Amino acid sequence: MLAALLALVGLLVATYLTLFKIGVIGELVCSIGSCETVQTSKWATFIGLPVAAWGIGFYVAVFAVSVALTTERWEAARGLQLGFLVLTAWGALFSLWLTYLELFVIHAICQWCVVSALLAVGLFIVAVMDWKTTWQEASVMTSES
């Protein structure tokens, strides 16, 4: 449930950043040490799409999977849980790479990008904890039988 909430907040942040990137929100300017610097750098685009738009896709996927995992039908599906773990691991790694670029290549920090990175890492931690819980429950059931 916590994962769905984090994914939803991440989706809102990614939507805001995408609207900023395409010029619906804010000004397109160059100034020192700000979101504009990050958003106007070449790193703000990935395979032809704004990085924030990829973020929307990522959070939609995480939200869908985390909601599915709260339903009776899917909550015990190990494959889906593994998928959730891999998806959030990818999100966390990608976010850490972007934060590295901000700090050491672009030399500017966009606060909303940092919020998104924290959410991605938080989602990965939740996924790891869920996976561990399921693993422990499974091993208890195995030893009981």
Partner 1 sequence: MVSDQRKSKGAFWALLGAVAVLGLIAIAYVAAKPKSRGITEVDLKADPSQARGYLLGDSTAPVQVREFADFECPACMQFATLTEPDVRKLIDLKKISFRFYDFPLGMHRNTWEASNAAACADEQGKFWPMHDALFAAQDQWNGEATRNPKSVLKGLAQQVGLDVAKWESCYDEQRYRSRIAANRAEGERIHIGSTPTFIIGNKMIPGALSSDEFIRYVNEATAAAGRK
Q: What is the DSSP letter of 72?
A: T
* Residue 37 near partner 1 by CB under 8 A: yes
Q: Based on the shown chain and the rule CB under 8 A, indicate whether residue 133 belongs to the binding site for partner 1.
A: no
Q: Which of 21, 36, 53, 130: binder of partner 1 (CB under 8 A)?
A: 36
Least distance CB 85 / partner 1 (angstroms) = 21
Q: Answer yes or no whether residue 80 interacts with partner 1 by CB under 8 A.
A: no
Q: Is 47 in the site for partner 1 (CB under 8 A)?
A: no
The residues in 92-131 that bind partner 1, with binding defined as CB under 8 A, are: 107-108
Does residue 38 belong to the site contacting partner 1 (CB under 8 A)? Answer: no
Q: What's the one-letter identity of residue 8? A: L
CB count in 10 Å sphere of residue 133? 11
Give the integer Cα–Cα distance in Å for 41 and 117: 18
Quick one: 39 or 99, whose CB is closer to partner 1? 39
The token duo for 111 is 């606060």
CA–CA separation, 48 and 85 (whole Å): 27
Smallest separation (angstroms) from partner 1 to the CB of 28:
4
CA dist., res. 37 & res. 29, Å (int): 8
Placement of tokens 């039988």 in the chain: 145
CA angle, 54 then 58 then 60, to 5°: 115
Q: How far is the CB of 100 from partner 1 (least distance, A)?
A: 16
Binding site for partner 1 (CB under 8 A): 1, 4-5, 8-9, 12, 15-16, 19, 24-33, 36-37, 40-42, 70, 107-108
